[in-house]
Amino acid sequence: MAIAMRTVSINPAFLREIKDDHHELRQLIHHSSAMLDHSGPVEIDYQRLGELLTKLRDQLAMHFSLEEAYGYFEDAIMVAPHLCRRAESLRSQHFDLFAEMCRVVETSEQLLYHEMPARLLQRLAGQYHLFLSRFHEHEAAECDLILEAFNDDIGTGD
């Protein structure tokens, strides 16, 4: 059923394209994860780790900005309410995810002058992995929404 209302929806083609094109974000996640997963406190380069996580935060900001500018939209249109509710909820997750990533970067900056960096590194790894699992969940939910929106467009949805 479709009803007319002013609400949040997605442009599935643009949202898909933004995700497919964001190679740099994927690379930064790959390198950050590799550094945090395979480095002990002795061999880790805290300066490099901090720079990497800062770049990741900046790319995340760019990723969310692009999604919100081109992948999501708000208008008075004919929409399926079940998709709108999820679109609104997913778009609102961007703010919390970005705030989480900012906390990861703050912790990484403290590593440079902390008295017990090994302990702080553990905390940083925990914060990072929590962020990453939430980010992956968010991305997967957006991909599901894209598929459903495509299906609705071609008339195979509920």
List interacting residues with Fe ion (CB under 5 A): 67
- Rounded least distance, CB 23 to Fe ion, Å: 16
Taking the C-alpha atoms of residue 129 and residue 156, their distance in angstroms, rounded to an integer, is: 37
Closest Cα partner for 80 from 6, 155, 152, 156?
Answer: 152
Taking the C-alpha atoms of residue 85 and residue 3, their distance in angstroms, rounded to an integer, is: 13
- Rounded least distance, CB 114 to Fe ion, Å: 32
Nearer to Fe ion, 67 or 100 (CB): 67
- Rounded least distance, CB 141 to Fe ion, Å: 9
Nearer to Fe ion, 52 or 86 (CB): 86
- Rounded least distance, CB 142 to Fe ion, Å: 5
Angle between helices 117-153 and 23-38 (to 10 degrees): 150
Nearer to Fe ion, 67 or 148 (CB): 67
Nearer to Fe ion, 66 or 125 (CB): 66
> What is the radius of gyration, based on Cα positions, of the chain?
19
Q: In the Cβ-directed half-sphere of 74, how many Cα atoms lie within 13 Å?
A: 7
Nearer to Fe ion, 112 or 130 (CB): 130
Q: Provide CB contacts within 8 A for 139, sequence distance 6+.
A: 19
Show the CA angle centred on residue 118, arms to residues 35 and 54, nearest 5°.
45
- Rounded least distance, CB 45 to Fe ion, Å: 31
